Amino acid sequence: MVSDTLWPQADRPAIPYGLRGLLGFCVRLQTGDKDVHSGTTGGAARNPLGELCALINACYDARTGRVKIPGFYRDVRRASAAERRGLARRAFSRGRFRRAHGFSSVRFPDETRLREAIMNRAHLRGPWPSPAGTAGRVSRHRASPGRGQAFLPVGVRPEARACVSSDRGFRAAPLPRREVIHESSLSPTSSIRRVHTWKPPSRLCSRAFGKRPALTREGGSIGAVVTMDRVLRAPVVLLGLSLPEHGYHAINENFDWGQARGGMEMFCRYFSRLADLPRRS
């Protein structure tokens, strides 16, 4: 059991049955051996930050999130009609989502599209600050930088092979002296076909919190789940208790007593139920 997931809102418990997976690339581009004065070299010097921006723009549409890399969506398994109906029934408010995470605006005005983008669609998240702390570092004021880098995470769905086309897309970029580094990756997981793994926890969650939990997908991934699923070959149940307003994995992350109290009751019921199961011979 892993307690590292979110509810959609305070009055709607949730049990995720899938994790989308993650693939991270660092694209580095070097156009010179050092930073130089822009007044002396401007116009002639290549700007690695500008060229990386052009590469990123060629990979995805920053406004819609649509990935432009050829073949990215080709092998993505679409959600079944039953999955879409189940996800549509979960309580979800665009306004509440925006306020909980402190966004001034989000991409989609339609709640259905926004929910799909968060939980279901393969995507390229766009440039993130690199492990060094910036997407491209300039050493001093009015300098033409000699190098730059951007970290590009890719979120993939269960059974998706979008990572392959992403790798090819970054490596095929016509940028002299560019380097593509595989930073990290986590396989997607799904228990949609293992109904027996989440039905008992669903009943116990209902008793502890008074409401039947929604079945959801989580947008990111949890490394331990992938490892346990592969090594232990045992069902992994995701029984998280965090709420969007708790600042999940963000600055000032917190947790409230109401969730903790209901969680303790749910976990006690769960482990008591496991203890009563007959032992395998």
**Residue 134 maps to a domain:** yes
- Whole-number Å distance between alpha carbons of 258 and 10: 10
Compute how many other C-beta atoms are within 10 angstroms of the C-beta atom of residue 225: 22
pLDDT at 241: 93
- Whole-number Å distance between alpha carbons of 205 and 263: 8
User: Which residues form the domain of 50?
Assistant: 22-79+120-186
Instruction: Let me know whether 249 and 218 are in one domain.
Output: yes
pLDDT at 260: 93
Instruction: Let me know whether 271 and 154 are in one domain.
Output: no
User: Pick from 166, 184, 186: which is nearest to 56 by CA?
Assistant: 166
**Residue 135 maps to a domain:** yes
Instruction: Let me know whether 144 and 263 are in one domain.
Output: no
**Residue 254 maps to a domain:** yes
Compute how many other C-beta atoms are within 10 angstroms of the C-beta atom of residue 148: 24
Instruction: Let me know whether 163 and 196 are in one domain.
Output: no
Instruction: Let me know whether 180 and 194 are in one domain.
Output: no
**Residue 8 maps to a domain:** no
pLDDT at 129: 52
Instruction: Let me know whether 139 and 196 are in one domain.
Output: no
pLDDT at 115: 77
Contact 151, 170 (CB under 8 A): no
Instruction: Let me know whether 43 and 144 are in one domain.
Output: yes
- Which of 159, 186, 213 terminates a domain? The answer is 186
pLDDT at 160: 42
Sequential pLDDT tens for the chain (281 residues): 888 888 888 888 888 888 888 777 788 888 888 888 877 777 788 888 888 888 888 888 888 888 888 878 877 777 777 777 666 666 677 878 888 778 888 888 877 777 777 777 777 776 765 444 433 343 334 555 667 777 666 665 544 444 445 555 555 556 666 777 777 777 888 776 676 777 888 888 899 999 888 888 887 678 888 888 889 888 888 889 999 889 887 888 899 999 999 999 999 988 998 888 887 65
**Residue 111 maps to a domain:** no
Instruction: Let me know whether 172 and 233 are in one domain.
Output: no
Beta-bridged to residue 123, according to DSSP, are: 155
Instruction: Let me know whether 164 and 73 are in one domain.
Output: yes
**Residue 94 maps to a domain:** no
Instruction: Let me know whether 170 and 195 are in one domain.
Output: no
- Which of 186, 202, 233 terminates a domain? The answer is 186
Q: What is the CATH number of the domain that holds 71?
A: 3.30.70.360
Tokens 């694209």 — which residue?
Answer: 27
Instruction: Let me know whether 227 and 129 are in one domain.
Output: no
Instruction: Let me know whether 44 and 165 are in one domain.
Output: yes
**Residue 146 maps to a domain:** yes
- Whole-number Å distance between alpha carbons of 125 and 22: 10
- Which of 163, 186, 209 terminates a domain? The answer is 186
Number of domains in the chain: 2
Q: Tally the residues of the chain.
A: 281
**Residue 95 maps to a domain:** no
